Amino acid sequence: MEEKLIAPCGMNCGVCISFLSMKNDLHKQGINNKYCEGCLPRGKNCLHMGDRCQTLMQGLIRFCYGCKEFPCKRLKGLDKRYRTKYHLSMIENLWVIKKHGLDYFLEKEKEKWSCPDCGNTICCHKGLCLNCQIDILHQNRKYRWGDE
Ligand SMILES: [Zn+2]
């Protein structure tokens, strides 16, 4: 897990389907997901919020907890969606980073998202390892965390 992959909103781009599809080059395997190198590396401060948040757009803060409106309504909505569907909470991530620092958070994320079988990274949007569990995606592109 890399520091530059932690977006201002607390999202870990390293577990996002668009990042992992690119990293594992899924186009080669016939899965045409969008490729993305991460919100910060691609110069968008935050994919989810940057285009509607002036503070992020102007790069005034590294993380949303530095904002006086934290957690704002938009972040709360996003957080709820991710907590419900994708087994992660941006707001919780941000509290951990604020309290324990980024190194600690990156270490925890590595533990949380490492595939027990191959050591690659599990995708938060699918609940699958996009290295060794591609077969499941071939069978069902809409697969999500074993329940859809
Ligand atoms: Zn794996």
Q: How far is the CA of 27 from the centre of ligand 1 (A)?
A: 18
Q: How far is the CA of 1 from the centre of ligand 1 (A)?
A: 16
Query: What local confidence, expressed as pLDDT, does residue 1 receive?
Result: 83
Q: How far is the CA of 66 from the centre of ligand 1 (A)?
A: 36
What's the pLDDT tens digit per position in 77-117? 999 999 999 999 999 999 999 999 999 999 999 999 999 99
Q: DSSP string spanning 79-143?
A: HHHHHHHHS--HHHHHHHHHHH-HHHHHHHHHHHHB-TTTS-BEETTTTEETTT-HHHHHH-TT-
Q: How far is the CA of 3 from the centre of ligand 1 (A)?
A: 22
Query: What local confidence, expressed as pLDDT, does residue 117 receive?
Result: 97
Name the pTM for this structure: 0.93
Distance of alpha carbon 37 from alpha carbon 127, whole angstroms: 20
